[in-house]
Chains A and B, each alone.
Chain A
Amino acid sequence: MPEIKELVTGLADKHGRTRESLLPILQGIITEERFISDDALTEVARELDISAALVYGTATFYSFLDTKPRGKFVIRICRTITCDMKGKKQIINTLEDLLKIRVGETTKDKNFTLLETNCLGWCHKGPAMLINDDVFTELTEDKITEIIRDYMRNI
């Protein structure tokens, strides 16, 4: 809790305490924590003097502002039509096998979370995915395996 409080105060000092500061602050929390906890949202509401329900509403509106606990690395596979037709299903299967989790879940060691997302704008190079802020395109089973192994080695 105290760390969250410090984090939020710091972000508010940086971005301000008006309504417009809400999004940058929430994004700042995501960068640090990967997800926005109950406590973090409460702190933001208190710091900006706005209702907690409204902060929650804003956070849930954006798919990238997660309110559920996430792993250190959040993998988001594009589920939109182009990537779908280019074989995202197979990519997901491979990821599920590699990580031993299903879409929506987080590994026991809290390192990886597997999610689907909407079009990433890389349709011409699908299937595409994000790991945190990094984009990976033209995915194949082999490529995926290598990428994940790399991440696992560097944890």
Chain B
Amino acid sequence: MANTVNIKIDGIDVSVEAGKTVLDAAKKLNIHIPTLCYHEDLCVAGNCRVCVVEQEGVNNLVASCAIPAQKGMVIHTNSHKVRNARRHVVELLLSEHNADCTKCYKNTKCELQDLASEMVINEHMFMDLVPDKNYTTDKQSPSIIKDDSKCIRCQRCVRTCHDLQHVSALGVAYKGDHMKISTFFEHPMYEVVCTNCGQCVNRCPTGALIEKNYLDEVWDAIYDEDKHVIVQTAPATRIALGEDLGMESGSIVTGKMAASLRRLGFDSVLDTDFSADLTIMEEGTELLTRLKKALVDKDTSVKLPMFTSCSPGWVKFLEHTYPDYLDNLSTCKSPQQMFGALAKTYYAEKKGLDPDKIVCVSIMPCTAKKFEANRPEMRDSGYQDVDMGLTTRELAVMIKQAGIDFQELPDEKFDSLMGESSGAAVIFGATGGVMEAALRTAYEIVTGREVPFKNLNITAVRGMEGVREANIKLENVLPAWSFLEGVELKTAVAHGLTNAHQIMEAIHKGEANYHFVEVMGCPGGCIGGGGQPIPTTPEIRRKRAEAIYREDEGMAVRKSHENPEVQQIYREFLGEPLSDKSHWLLHTHYVKRKRV
């Protein structure tokens, strides 16, 4: 047992793996040590000092999140000295903090407030410095609000944006008591490289970085008799929403979610999974068309690898960072936007609704979807295709506001026409899912046979490895696809923009030779999206992904092209994938953006 270390915490012996911190050891004993700058997904910063503990024989208190357990350590987590120090830390933070909790979006969901409440802070011991601080709030982005008066400078956001996302839209500027979290030249988030992924929002312990919420707008639409309010729900919402409503991570709440939306008063309760299946039809066909042009017609203007385009964070990242690769992005809109464009055309037509009176609301695991809905390109129906994008968290708020006992709801189904989906659509929510769904369909189109994997589960593209590759050999293809006979289809999957950057560098340097690459902007894919319940940790992402695959296995239809409503829309409205109508409503283009 050379690799374990024995220490004593609060009189209890514990042994942990070498390299683990005192904080890890305490967790093992179920001793709670408060933390602020620490986050399981991030490197240790050790800057807030709220996690201090007393180590016997050492004069100063030590930061338990930063100090590795060492043989023979005797630690006290709750001594007089420790409690005093922690209290001072929190009091000092509060002295610079605009603590108007009742007006704060994070009220009751704030780690600083939790600490203040735990310490029963009544009278403040330090002077209130807020009036002298000239804090500013940036509300210009359609996705994210940054309120410096709530910032405790823990730098979780900075580490998130740098380490996980390779964007570094946020950095630390100035020093000492002027130190602040800042974009380039303190420009609004809206004007810089920020991808709106919301990963920083998901990790900010306070109300300093929050999503822009559209709760009032949605309630107003619901109460407006004149409006027909359609709601669509993204794949990853159904396995995470429960967490914000008192349920275990990994609970599948598809049926309860549909029921709750109906009770909230939405007029049509539909599913983004439907348009995820549609995305597969369009994107799969686009891939095969690109391959044909490249391999048969030797058309050098065709760009390979083709990149998926359903993650708006990834799309904006590429627009800023690799603008020379925009032609590699699939022209397919994301499922949210395909849905919006069809809601105000196809659905309106079929249901005899006036598109002018339709309000299209989406429930997304994502904050970038808010930005995407507001992109000027996304108005092909003649209206803004998606009017408001809410996060999973915002839906949970609405359900609570309406006094609905979520856990007791019956399971209900989505409404028809755009509510039916396949297991392939559900797995869009996890990294690798779009690839798997596309392969299930494309392989079958080309060979006439199902993908050669047990239960259709393409496990090579699953998992949490940052970059994964899978090659599939196409053999005995149907006559129409003879040019693909013997071709080994090379695919790769990346999640989180740091991994996306890695794959882009490999492609750029000519070290990687893929045909098709799936990228999701958030770690774990949408299940770990910036709009998902807080906290999101590696363990929680694993449970959510596991739930996604369980949901897929339980579906009657597992392949996008077998979704009866998808077949119907091609029969009755779109014609075929990549038809003129598809191009008009379901495809888009991208714009070069500056890299600051």
Q: Which A residues lie at the B interface, using CB under 8 A?
A: 38, 41-42, 45-46, 50-57, 60-61, 67
Contact B173 A57 (CB under 8 A): yes
Q: Which 3 A-B pairs have the closest CB atoms?
A: A51-B168, A57-B171, A53-B171
Query: In the complex, what residues of B have CB within 8 A of residue A55's CB?
Result: 184
Query: In the complex, what residues of B have CB within 8 A of residue A46's CB?
Result: 595
Q: Which B residues lie at the A interface, using CB under 8 A?
A: 162, 167-175, 182-185, 192-193, 595-596
Majority secondary structure, A binding face: helix
Query: In the complex, what residues of A have CB within 8 A of residue B170's CB?
Result: 53
| CB closest residue in chain B, given A38 | B185
A4 to B242, CA, bound (A): 54
| CB closest residue in chain B, given A67 | B185
A51 to B173, CA, bound (A): 13
Between-chain CB contacts (< 8 Å), 7 pairs:
A38-B185, A52-B192, A53-B168, A55-B184, A56-B185, A57-B182, A60-B173
Query: In the complex, what residues of B have CB within 8 A of residue A67's CB?
Result: 185
Majority secondary structure, B binding face: loop
A56 to B162, CA, bound (A): 15
* Residue in B162, B172, B175, B193 whose beta carbon sits within 8 Å of that of A52 in the complex: B193
Query: In the complex, what residues of B have CB within 8 A of residue A61's CB?
Result: 172-175
* Residue in B174, B175, B183, B595 whose beta carbon sits within 8 Å of that of A45 in the complex: B595
Known interface pairs A45-B595, A61-B174, A61-B175; A51-B185 also in contact (CB < 8 Å): no
Query: In the complex, what residues of A have CB within 8 A of residue B175's CB?
Result: 60-61
Query: In the complex, what residues of A have CB within 8 A of residue B183's CB?
Result: 53, 56
Known interface pairs A38-B185, A41-B185; A53-B174 also in contact (CB < 8 Å): no
Contact B174 A60 (CB under 8 A): yes
Query: In the complex, what residues of B have CB within 8 A of residue A56's CB?
Result: 171, 173, 182-185
A51 to B185, CA, bound (A): 12
| CB closest residue in chain A, given B194 | A53
Contact A45 B171 (CB under 8 A): no
Contact B596 A42 (CB under 8 A): yes
Expressed in whole angstroms, the minimum distance between the Cβ of A134 and any Cβ of chain B is 26
A42 to B185, CA, bound (A): 10
Query: In the complex, what residues of B have CB within 8 A of residue A41's CB?
Result: 184-185
Contact B184 A52 (CB under 8 A): yes
Query: In the complex, what residues of B have CB within 8 A of residue A51's CB?
Result: 162, 167-169, 171, 184, 193
Query: In the complex, what residues of A have CB within 8 A of residue B192's CB?
Result: 52-53
Expressed in whole angstroms, the minimum distance between the Cβ of A12 and any Cβ of chain B is 16
Query: In the complex, what residues of A have CB within 8 A of residue B173's CB?
Result: 56-57, 60-61
